[in-house]
Amino acid sequence: MQFDILTIFPDLFASPLQEGIIRRALQAGQIAVNLHNIRDFAQDKHSMTDDRPFGGGEGMVMKPEPIAACCKAAQADGSSGTVILLSPRGKQLDQNRVEQLAGLKKIILVCGRYEGVDERFCRHYVDEEISIGDYILTGGELAAMVIVDSVTRMLPGVLGCADSATNDTFSRGLLKHGQYTRPREFEGLEVPEVLLGGDHGKISTYRFLESVRETLKRRPQLFVAVEFSAAEIQILKKAGLYQDIQTAVTVYAN
């Protein structure tokens, strides 16, 4: 997987790319990350990458020429890649899209700034706009790093445990159950007994039900997109949770 990141602040990526799973993936050659400074492609002596918007208004807009030239440079290896603009108006990133992106060979991430990017660049070069949430950042760099991180961990062999990615929160639309480790007792609270008994069938059922309970409590709207097997439905009915799920689906499906 190759990531090409177009930004006016490449130094923002120095530390995140040198830590944890991302660093190990880079060292192992599982991913490559190329940083492209948009300022290097500015066409004036002051290296201007932004200007005032036509029609008036607040702030500045990123000029199309430097970003376009920078994008072409990122495509100079003969692979155009999928060009993604990080933008508040983009479709919100979710786990399903992360998994789709993990199937690509090259992603070009364009980090917007200020009041946005000239629309003509978007129309000519951008394949997709992505937002990481309904809030505003000072620029697309943090959002780009979120994509690099979330996509990298989905690649085969990146995580130490092969099942980590498939068992994560949102992997099947549910929030993850609570986790416990040593000590067995902490400030009066003990680890649930079922996790200590060694019965993997009971543990699996317990974790499934806890995952459902957490989702009902925190994000019941997620059930609209969740499908349960016949065996799981029986477990839910026995635990008295199935009707609550049906109610949540009715409420949030409309």
CATH 1.10.1270 boundaries in the chain: 185-253
Does residue 174 surpass a pLDDT of 90? yes
**Does residue 214 carry a catalytic annotation?**
no
Rounded CA separation 208/222 (Å) = 15
Q: pLDDT per residue over 136-159, tens digit each?
A: 999 999 999 999 999 999 999 999
Mean pLDDT of 227-250: 97
Q: What is the pLDDT of residue 236?
A: 98
Of 71-85, 90-104, 160-174, 208-222, give the lowest mean pLDDT range: 160-174
**Does residue 88 carry a catalytic annotation?**
yes
170 band by pLDDT with thresholds 50, 70 and 90:
low
Rounded CA separation 1/105 (Å) = 5
The catalytic position among 65, 99, 149, 168 is 168
**Does residue 227 carry a catalytic annotation?**
no
The fold of the 185-253 domain, in CATH, is Trp Operon Repressor; Chain A (1.10.1270)
Rounded CA separation 251/134 (Å) = 22
Q: What is the 3-state secondary structure (H, E, C) of the chain?
A: CEEEEEECCHHHHCCHHHCHHHHHHHHCCCCEEEEEEHHHHCCCCCCCCEECCCCCCCCCEECHHHHHHHHHHHCCCCCCCEEEEEEEEEEECCHHHHHHHCCCCEEEEEECECCCECHHHHHHHCCEEEECCCCCCCECHHHHHHHHHHHHCCCCCCCCCCCCCCCCCCCCCCCCCCCCCCCCEECCEECCHHHHCCCHHHHHHHHHHHHHHHHHHHCHHHHHHCCCCHHHHHHHHHCCCHHHHHHHHHHHHC
Instruction: Give residue for tokens 């085969």.
Output: 156
The catalytic position among 115, 128, 214, 244 is 115
Q: Does the pTM exceed 0.75?
A: yes
Are 34 and 71 in contact, with CB atoms under 8 Å apart?
Answer: no
Q: What is the pLDDT of residue 171?
A: 65
- In sign, the C-alpha dihedral spanning 204, 210, 215, 218 is negative
The catalytic position among 113, 153, 207, 210 is 153
CATH 3.40.1280.10 boundaries in the chain: 2-152
Of 43-47, 73-77, 209-213, give the lowest mean pLDDT range: 43-47
The catalytic position among 88, 99, 220, 244 is 88
Q: Which CATH number fits domain 2-152: 3.90.1150.10, 3.90.550.10, 3.40.50.2000, 3.40.1280.10?
A: 3.40.1280.10
